[in-house]
Structure 1
Amino acid sequence: MTGNGHTSWAFADAYGVPDIGTAAGEALLWARDRSREIGVASVSPGCGDALRLLTATADAKAVVEIGTGTGVSGLYLLLGMRPDGVLTTMDTEPERQQFAREAFRAAGFAGNRARLIPGRALDVLPRLTDGGYDLVFCDGDREEYLDYLGEAVRLLRPGGVLCFAGVFSGGDTVDSSAQTTTVLTLRELLRTLRDSDRLVPALLPVGDGLLCATCR
C-alpha cells in the first residue's frame, strides 16, 4: 500500500469516531484506556463504525455480543440500536463487565439497555431464544468460532446479521505457513460462510478483519 493508501486507511478508520467532549466519545476513550490497562484487545474505531452501521441498518432491538471486554464494542452496538433495544453481552471475566457497565452508564445508556451475563459463551448461548435476535457479534475465543456459528444462526431472525471479529488474525489467516489451531479454525469459518446456502457473507477489511453475513 502506498503512503497515500495508509493515510486514507487511517482517515477511514477514524472517520466516524464520536467526538471527544460528547458522552459517547468520552466513554469510548475511557473504555479503550481500561482495555489497554488490563491487556484486552478492543475493536478498532473502523470496526466499531461498521458494527454501529450494521446494527442501525438492521434496526436492531435485540443484539447478542460474545466477549464484553471493557465495553468498547458494546458502546458501538448500543449507539446503532433502537432506543428501546437491549444488548445481551457475555464474558468469562466479570471484572471486565464492571468496566463495561460503567462505560455504558457514562455514555448515557440506562441500566436496562444492557444485560451483562458472566460465563463461557457456549454455556450461555443455548439458554437464549431461537430466532429472537437481530444481530450477533462474536469477539470471543477464536478457536470456538465454529461452535458460535451454529448457535448464532439459531438465534438470528431471518434477515439478521452475524459478525466475527479478528478473522485476519494479524495476517496469519492468509499466511500459508501459519498452521495454528486458531488459524485453521478461522480458515474453516471463512469457507463455511462462503459455501453456505443460507448465509450471504462479506469480509470487511476493517480492524483485524470483520467477517459478516446475513441469514436468508
Structure 2
Amino acid sequence: MNSTQPQNNAVPSQQSWEFAEDYVAMPEAVRLARDEATLSGLTPISPGVVATLTVLAATTRAKLVVEVGTAMGASALALFEGMAEGGILTSIDPETDSQLPARKLLTEAGYTSSKFRLIAGNPLEVLPKLNSGAYDIVFVNGDKLEYVEYVANAERLLRPGGLLVVNDVLWHNQVADPENEGDEAIIIREALQAVNESDAYQQTLLPIGNGLLVAVKN
C-alpha cells in the first residue's frame, strides 16, 4: 500500500479545520436554534463550539451554569446536552427578542421552565446579583466591548474547579494581529490578559469557531 509521509508540524488545512468543526453531529434542537439565530441576523456558535460546550458540561457534571448572551438558545441547548440531571441554566441577554425564541426552543426540547432562567437585562447589572462561588460554568458570549467586566464577574461566580468559557476570542483574526486597533480586538485582548495575569486559573485557547478560551478556576 502506497502512503505519503506526512510533513512534520504541518499546519492543518482549511479542509481539516472544517472536518474537525463538523466532526460531531449537532442535536436537532441546537440546529434549529442556530438556524433561528442566522435568520435573525445573529452569528450562531459554530458546530465545534457546540460540541465543546457539551463535553465541558459533561466533564464538570455541571449543575449550575450561567451564560451571557442567549443567542436564540443554541448555547443553552448545547450545555444542557452535557449537564447533570437536575441542572439549572441561567441565561442573561439585554434583548428580549433573543430570549422569546430561546424559551420556545428549550421548551420544545423537553426542558421545563424550572430548568432555566432567561433574564432580559443588562448583564453588568445582573451578574453582581448572582451567588458567589456557586457556578460550575460561566459562558461568555455577549457584547464584546464588555468582555473585561464579564471575565471579572466570572471569577467571583465560579466555584473551585469551575470553568470560564469565553467565545469569539480570536474575533475574525483581529485579536492575533497586533496592528489591529479595533475596539473589539482591544477589549478582547484586555480580557485575555486579565485571565493570563490572574492566579485564579489554568487555561487554554482553542482555535475552534471564532476562538474559545477555556479556563479552570483553581
Give the TM interval when normalised to the shorter protein.
Answer: over 0.9
Aligned residues: 210
Hey, what's the Cα distance between the residues in 2 that align with 1:197 and 1:30? 39
Q: 1:201 aligns with which of 190, 200, 203?
A: 203
Structure 2 distance, partners of 1:13, 1:109, is 27
Residues 48-103 of structure 1, C-alpha deviations (whole Å, 9 max, x = no match): 11111111111100000000010111110111101200000011111211111111
2:20 is aligned to 12
Normalising by structure 2, we get a TM-score of 0.91
What is the match of residue 86 of structure 2? 84
Give the distance between the partners of 1:55 and 1:29, measured in 2 at CA. Answer: 18
- SS for the counterpart of 1:153 is helix
What residue in structure 2 maps to residue 74 of structure 1? 76
Superposed displacement of residue 4, structure 1:
7.1
CA displacement at 1:5 relative to structure 2:
2.5
Which residue of structure 2 lines up, in the alignment, with residue 148 of structure 1? 150
How do 1:118-157 and structure 2 match up within 5 A? 118-157=120-159
- 8 Å CA contact 2:155–2:200 kept in 1: the answer is no
3-state SS in 2 of match to 1:47: helix
Percent identity for Structure 1 against Structure 2:
40
Deviation (angstroms), 1:8: 2.1
What does residue 37 of structure 2 align with? 35
Counterpart pick for 1:46 among 42, 48, 51: 48
SS of aligned partner of 1:169 = coil
CA contact (8 A) 1:170 1:208 kept: yes
Q: Which of 40, 60, 63 is residue 61 of structure 1 equivalent to?
A: 63
**Distance verdict in 2 for CA 1:188–1:11, change over 3 Å:** same
Alignment of 1:155-166 (within 5 A): 155-166=157-168
Structure 2, unaligned runs of 5 or more: 1-9
Paired letter, 1:169: W
Q: CA RMSD in A?
A: 1.7
Whole-Å separation in 2 of the counterparts to 1:145 and 1:54: 21
Whether contact under 8 Å (1:26, 1:107) holds in the other structure is no
CA contact (8 A) 2:133 2:158 kept: yes
1:150 partner letter = A
- Structure 1: stretches of 5+ with no match in the other structure: 19-24
Larger Rg: 2
Secondary structure in 2 matching 1:172: coil
> Amino acid of the residue matched to residue 21 of structure 2?
D
Distance 1:124 1:200, change over 3 A: same
Relative to its length, the structure with more helix (as a share) is: 1
